[in-house]
Amino acid sequence: MDIEIVAEGLAFPEGPVWMKDGSVVVVEIAAGQVTRIRPNGDKELVAECGGGPNGAAVGPDGCLYVVNNGGMSFSRQDGLLVTDGGASADSKPGWVDRIDANSGRIERLYEGVDGRPLAGPNDLVFDRDGGMWFSDMGKHAGSSTENGGIYYAKADGSFVTRVVDGVRANGMGLSPDGKKLYCALSYEALLVEFDIDGPGLLSPVAGFASGRPIGQFAPRQLPDSLAVDANGHVCCATVFNNAGITSVDPQSGRLTHQPFPDLMTTNICFGGADMRDAWVTLSSTGRLAKVRWDSPGLELAYYA
């Protein structure tokens, strides 16, 4: 697979979003900002949101929705910018923002549920009803760990609910028919699925409160953020051991791996005229890569 490096010098990029004008928007977690990258590699600041913007998606109103982990700790190792996911010294409880990608205007939508603050929101995906599923990885600092969960919220800021509690949830995605929710559990090296009963409603999973296992990764090959292709395969970024993009067949559990040249390959999105262009965030080296994927990506509910 030929890998084209589109942009460099990014501060731990994540959450790539393909835009109809051909640009790609990424969050830069270590810089606390959202950045647009033009096809020629030019970078433009979209918004400075502080904390640790972690995942992004276009909502039904054409705005960007960004989940923020509140701040992560980073260190330099052999020239690479790395993180173990721990909270920074000045980390705050996480939140969800709506951002106008043209003006940079930021509106805070959610900071907690039922009086309990969000811990470390990580990723999100919109359904075709206009609502968002978003994950919370929790927070780890020193010897203290706070679990997160899976949430569902309306895009207008009027409603949010905790659907699954007590899990450290990472990447999120929906099946092509919108009837299944996929979630990466990084610390369990596991990809799980839930059956969706309606907006914000998941069927109970007998014996598996944290979802039905559909993909088991190798030890220390931690699943991160993800995208789904048009064939229903879950394309999950993996970090540390055998880093790259691993495609999981939810029916068989078969894993197909494509390595990428970065210890912390964290996310993937699809776009282009035939949806076979894939952009991959190479976070520890601060780069955005572009490749031609062997199958088209699943079209998301909304684009801008």
pLDDT digits (tens), the chain, 304 positions? 899 999 999 999 999 999 999 999 999 999 999 999 999 999 999 999 999 999 999 999 999 999 999 999 999 999 999 999 999 999 999 999 999 999 999 999 999 999 999 999 999 999 999 999 999 999 988 888 899 999 999 999 999 999 999 999 999 999 999 999 999 999 999 999 999 999 999 998 877 678 999 999 999 999 999 999 999 999 999 999 999 999 999 999 999 999 999 999 999 999 999 999 999 999 999 999 999 999 999 999 999 9
Contact by Cβ (8 Å): 172, 153: no
Tell me the two tokens of residue 271: 């776009």
Return d(Cα 100, Cα 49) in angstroms, integer.
12
Tokens 């890569």 locate to 289
Return d(Cα 227, Cα 25) in angstroms, integer.
15
Closest CA to 289 of 272, 273, 277: 277
